[in-house]
Amino acid sequence: MGLLVVDAIETSFGDFSRSAAALLLTLHYHGPMTATELAMIGGVTQPTAVRVVGGLIQRGLVVRGGRSGRTAPLALTREGSESANALQAGRLDAMERLLATLPKAERVQFERSLDRLLASATRSRTFARTTCRLCDHRGCSGPLCPIGTRANELEHAAGAKGEPYVVHP
């Protein structure tokens, strides 16, 4: 099942690599950030982020902001935002095609089961950020997001016990 979903989504990326799509969508949903921050959320190594961002800059999709010490925030250009919107639309279309064969009642049950699986797999805020790096947070936020909700619960539980919240990948 996992490979079926991955293949469908990666096909929707067109000429973007998995890493390029992840970094472009991460910048789209999280706003300007450094290459190191982008790598952490995007689920790639820092050298990979730098290399991929270089390609996105050459394509006119990303720009570097003014330097602050050794870092320069990265942001999307207008073309980058348009590409990110097209990537997201393609991903959603690919998932819709996969789920279209399920009758409505089965689809609702599948979504509920998937929400439970995602929540139970969530172990930290870092996991949530990396797992949700391709998500449209406007459509999946607050109680609608099983991963974010579980990460909030873990942070709250640690705070209630007086313990510092320790991030476990």
pLDDT digits (tens, 9 = 90+) for 88-114: 999 889 989 999 999 999 999 999 999
The residues that bridge with 76 in the sheet, in sequence order, are 62
Orientation of helix 78-99 relative to helix 2-12, angle to 10°: 140
Q: How far is CA 14 from CA 9, 20, 31, 109, in A?
A: 10, 11, 23, 31
The confidence band for 161, taking pLDDT boundaries of 50, 70 and 90, is low
Q: How far is CA 97 from CA 90, 103, 113, 124, in A?
A: 11, 13, 19, 31
The confidence band for 141, taking pLDDT boundaries of 50, 70 and 90, is low
